[in-house]
Amino acid sequence: MKRHPYGCQRAMLWEIVMNLFRIVYYSERNHSTALDLRTLIATCHKNNTARSITGLLHFNGAYFIQVLEGARADVSDIYHRIAVDPRHINVILISATDARERIFPTWSMALHEGVDERSREIFLRYFSKERVDPETVNVDSLLDVLQDLSSEVV
């Protein structure tokens, strides 16, 4: 997995004290429920900033992949709230693990939406297919893909 240079030493020490935790999950859009991504991301920014949660939400129109990183109790709490949100269904937890450093340190929640030619290439480079199978996907490769996709987020 690629590493980000992480700012100051004090911040690194704080991350160790807070026990940095990361989860990755997959879910499918619930077409029976309205979805306003702008409102959703505004909520993410508000709540995640308050809890120092960072991450990325990828939405290709059919499914979501989200990474949440922060203190273990905070990430766990927000994940349990998200998991019962009616805007998505079939939530599959891909990974939940301690982490040494954040992959998305500057994003309270980056939104990567849609699949353009470049993101298609990124998926194909790692998986030789465009669609992620949440039951078999390798989480390290998936995180590499998401990190590459995050360079497209403005």
Ligand X SMILES: Cc1cc2nc3c(=O)[nH]c(=O)nc-3n(C[C@H](O)[C@H](O)[C@H](O)COP(=O)(O)O)c2cc1C
Residue 84: CB minimum distance to ligand X, A? 7
Q: Which is nearer to ligand X, 10 or 30 (CB)?
A: 30
Q: Which is nearer to ligand X, 8 or 146 (CB)?
A: 146
Q: Which is nearer to ligand X, 10 or 145 (CB)?
A: 145
The residues binding ligand X (CB under 6 A) are 27, 40, 43-44, 47-48, 57, 64, 66, 68, 78, 81-82, 85, 87-88, 109
Residue 140: CB minimum distance to ligand X, A? 22
Residue 10: CB minimum distance to ligand X, A? 26
Q: Write the Ramachandran bin of 89: left for phi over 0, alpha for psi from -120 to 50, otherwise beta.
A: beta
CB 60 within 8 A of CB 114: yes
Nearest residue to ligand X by CB is: 47
